Structure 1
Amino acid sequence: MLELKAVNSSFTQSVSIQAQVIKYLSQHRQLHARSLEAGGQLFGVVDPDSIIITCATGPYSKDDRGPRHYRSDAMSAQSEIKQQAKFGNVYLGEWHTHAEKVPRASGHDIDAMRRLMKSSNLATNGLLMVILGQGLDKGGISVYSYMDGKLLHWDIE
């Protein structure tokens, strides 16, 4: 799959997910209902026209993973955030998998984003959340942003 672009009419910026990130995320897809969710952090650059996801990290060996839940190990995630900052990459948000063809954010996902916004020192106004489902087409990836207490869905072009 090539680079993906997501748009939301509430924003002038678009979100681009580079091809190498999609390839990395695809390696962790939940192909079976009993497969464990995987996830991690998203990094990249922000300019006036776009948010570009250039790197994804995780999962980590100490993550809390199950078929229907994922929680990143906080120490591992923070270490990766510091490491990526050395390369000039901004922490943009989180990614994880769902065992469904077309992934949708759950109540748990929304709560996790709310907690992250409260506890994080961010260089951006909000956080992105990318959920990778089982589908291989663009419908198999969902992009959301969380800011001002609201989760917004972005359309893949």
Structure 2
Amino acid sequence: MILRIEKIGLSLKAEDELLNKLLESGKAHYPKEFGGFLMGYYSEDNQCLHITDTILPKKYQASKYSFERSTKGVEKEFTEFYSGNPRKVYVGEWHTHPDSSPIPSTTDISAINTIINNKNTCIPNPVLLIIGYSQTTEDFGFYVWFENKLYKYD
């Protein structure tokens, strides 16, 4: 899958195999939300993000309408990605919206702001993937925080 936001000149690539893995991980926790970390790398010109992997949290709290993950217990996995070739880094978050659409809630936008304002986070444009699904539909909503605004990839 290749998506682009013409207005700001950014594109995103993610393999269907990864997206299916995320969807299945989310569905395994139905009816609660579930999610994790997105890992990947940027093109040399920083215009294209390649999302390649996920790290699933070891500790989290979830309900039908919320998901909050912890970084405890996944430090080794992050280190392995950071030292690999190509060097992959944390690029954002993903989570599900069971029986709902992939539209960011107020809580989702607040979470992105928390990431941006965290001194330990070194990414200026975090990505948010929301997977909305029901028994008959599946929809992936990719968003990026760019210059203090949330944009949707088309």
With structure 1 as the length reference, what TM-score do the two structures score?
0.82
> Structure 2 vs 1, CA of residues 80 and 118 (structure 1 numbering), >3 Å: closer, same or farther?
farther
Counterpart pick for 1:73 among 45, 52, 70: 70
Other structure's SS at 2:36 match: strand
For 2:31 and 2:135, the matched residues in 1 are separated by 17
The total of aligned residue pairs comes to: 150
Is 1:83 paired with 2:80? yes
Superposition deviation, residue 63 in structure 1: 0.6
Counterpart pick for 1:16 among 3, 13, 31: 13
For 2:153 and 2:138, the matched residues in 1 are separated by 12
Name the % identity. 21
For 1:57 and 1:50, the matched residues in 2 are separated by 21
Q: Which amino acid aligns with 2:24?
A: Q
Which 5+ residue runs of structure 1 have no aligned equivalent? none
For 2:149 and 2:40, the matched residues in 1 are separated by 22
Native 8 Å contact 1:126 1:147 kept in 2: yes
Native 8 Å contact 2:37 2:94 kept in 1: yes
With structure 2 as the length reference, what TM-score do the two structures score?
0.83
Name the structure, 1 or 2, with higher relative contact order (CA <8 Å, separation 6+): 1
For 1:16 and 1:138, the matched residues in 2 are separated by 22
Is 1:53 paired with 2:42? no
Counterpart pick for 1:37 among 27, 33, 38: 33
Superposition deviation, residue 128 in structure 1: 0.2
For 1:50 and 1:136, the matched residues in 2 are separated by 33
Which 5+ residue runs of structure 2 have no aligned equivalent? none
Superposition deviation, residue 30 in structure 1: 4.2
* Higher strand residue share: 2
Q: Deviations over 1:26-79 (max 9, x none)?
A: 2123489x6111111111110134211011121x23111111101111324555
**C-alpha root-mean-square deviation of aligned residues, in Å?**
2.6
